[in-house]
């Protein structure tokens, strides 16, 4: 085994770290390795740029989610409608 520090990462790992960074779950060391990778990898730079755009658009969209009560009520109504359809 080698005790060398691994700085160069493959594209699949870079994309995973990019995703983690989007959700603020990446460590400082992961971000450093990602930025080194982005220096020489055009495809991952594009992936990272698109990921940043997506994050910005989702935050900007002001989407409202249903609360748990509404979801449960909708589920009950759907189950009831399915049962009625199957009976008829």
At 6 the pLDDT is: 77
HEC readout, the chain: CCCCCCCCCCHHHHHHHHHHHHCCCCCHHHHHHHHHHHHHCHHHHHHHHHHHHHHHHHHHCCCCCCCHHHHHHHHHHHHHHHHHHHHC
Residue 29: domain span: 11-87
- Could you list the beta-strand ranges (E) of the chain: none
- Is pTM beyond 0.75? Reply is no
pLDDT tens digits for range 6-35? 788 999 999 999 999 988 999 999 999 999
Q: Is residue 1 over pLDDT 60?
A: no
At 46 the pLDDT is: 97
Q: Is residue 61 part of a domain?
A: yes
Q: Is residue 39 part of a domain?
A: yes
pLDDT tens digits for range 40-78? 999 999 999 999 999 889 888 887 888 899 999 999 999
User: Which of 5 and 46 is assigned the larger pLDDT?
Assistant: 46
Q: Is residue 1 part of a domain?
A: no
Q: Is residue 5 part of a domain?
A: no
Output DSSP code: residue 65.
P
Q: How many domains does the chain have?
A: 1
Q: Is residue 2 part of a domain?
A: no
Find the helix or strand (DSSP H, E) in which 32 lies.
helix 28-40
């Amino acid at each position: 085994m080698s005790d060398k520090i691994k700085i160069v990462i493959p594209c699949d790992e870079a994309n995973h770290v990019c995703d983690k960074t989007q959700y603020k779950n990446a460590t400082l060391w992961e971000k450093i390795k990602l930025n080194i990778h982005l220096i020489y990898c055009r495809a991952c730079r594009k992936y990272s740029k698109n990921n940043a755009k997506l994050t910005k658009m989702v935050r900007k969209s002001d989407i409202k989610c249903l609360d748990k009560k509404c979801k449960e009520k909708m589920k009950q109504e759907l189950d009831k409608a399915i049962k009625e359809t199957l009976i008829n």
